[in-house]
Amino acid sequence: NRSQYRAMIGQESVTTDGKPIRLYANIGTPSDIASALENDAEGVGLFRTEFLCLGRRTIPDEEEQFKSYKEACRLMGGRPIIIRTLDLGSDKQSELLNLPQEKNPALGFRGIRIGLTHPELFSCQLRAIYRASVCGNLSILFPMITSVREILQIKKLIRSVQDELTKRQIPWRSCPIGIMIETPASALLSDELAGEVDFFSIGTNDLTQYTLAMDRQNGSLDSFYDPYSEAVMKEIEITVRNGHRYGCQVGICGELAADTAVTDRLLKMGVDSLSVSPHMILPVRKAIRESCTDPVPAF
Ligand code: PEP
Ligand code: MG
């Protein structure tokens, strides 16, 4: 089986009816790039930057973040990298910020909510990303979006970071910006959100958790938790349709992207890219090459 996947190295990720699908890797730190490249990733579709904070007592400062993003660019050598801004809170390292204990952390202070409440922290990361933007092919992705208002606030902060860098004569490049579609609100509002951004990345882990109202980490719900829920499939369909109508590319970066049992179905819905753990790239490439985006097979 391993050799059948090894044979996928160097092959194109293209469906039987000729649609190229971008097949990217999910990483947590630049050190994951080695295995992404070994498995022939075409880019990094999700750089979970909160992993840079793992096991630490403080959040890395601008210089340290800049070095990590620059290193990722160097290792990827011009291939696209989608950097997601810190998605702290809920289950991930919320103690770093001295946040108050919450009764429902998954429904609480996490993701972009922390960034917009602590603009100095958020701008520090944006500065590090824009400084690294001249070193590679970077896009920026924002987690846990629920409204157009949040995007407008983000864009305002982006503009002020860009103005500041320009004033200080630090070179930067403009980067495509995208949002995670991982709340039911964002899937339902995807027509309005699409007008504000360049791409969508569907986070099926949280989207499933919030759509089914089931804690993704609560093992005692396993018999109820359905990763193939038709409710989530419908949200993916709505998101792709709305994204495409307004010129947004739509990818999936949650676990569902790596599930080869649904690759054909996801591609038939029109999904443009899949981002998966490095070890799943080759199996998913094989599944893409056996899929057809045309609902009516040609005879
Ligand atoms: C998701 O929610 O599907 C996702 C990709 O983000 P994370 O797993 O980091 O929450
Ligand atoms: Mg998520």
Ligand 1 atom at shortest distance from the alpha carbon of 206? 2
Percentage of the chain surpassing pLDDT 90? 89
Res. 295: pLDDT tops 80: no
Give CA–CA dist 194/200, Å, rounded. Answer: 8
Res. 299: pLDDT tops 70: no
Give CA–CA dist 35/219, Å, rounded. Answer: 29
Nearest to 267 by CA among 15, 82, 99: 15
At 85-122, the pLDDT tens digits run: 999 988 777 778 887 788 999 999 999 999 999 999 99
Residue nearest to atom 1 of ligand 1 (CA): 203
Ligand 1 atom at shortest distance from the alpha carbon of 255? 3
Name the pTM for this structure: 0.97
Say yes or no: CB of residue 50 within 6 Å of ligand 1.
no
Average pLDDT taken over every residue of the chain: 95
- Measure Cα distances from 166 to 54, 120, 131, 169, 170 in Å: 32, 18, 11, 5, 6
Please state whether 104 falls in left (phi above 0), alpha (psi between -120 and 50) or beta: beta
Catalytic residues: 253
Ligand 1 center from residue 253 Cα (angstroms): 7
Residue nearest to atom 3 of ligand 1 (CA): 203
At 214-238, the pLDDT tens digits run: 999 999 999 999 999 999 999 999 9
Residue nearest to atom 6 of ligand 1 (CA): 203
Ligand 1 center from residue 57 Cα (angstroms): 23
Model ipTM value: 0.99
Ligand 1 center from residue 277 Cα (angstroms): 12
Per-residue pLDDT, averaged over 12-21, amounts to 98
Ligand 1 atom at shortest distance from the alpha carbon of 202? 3
Per-residue pLDDT, averaged over 231-255, amounts to 98
**Residues making up the binding site for phosphoenolpyruvate:** 48, 84, 205-206, 216
Residue nearest to atom 8 of ligand 1 (CA): 205
Which DSSP helix (H) or strand (E) runs through 180? strand 177-181
At 24-35, the pLDDT tens digits run: 999 999 999 999
Say yes or no: CB of residue 259 within 6 Å of ligand 1.
no
**Residues making up the binding site:** 48, 84, 182, 205-206, 216
Q: Cβ(240)–Cβ(266) under 8 Å?
A: no
Give CA–CA dist 191/37, Å, rounded. Answer: 35
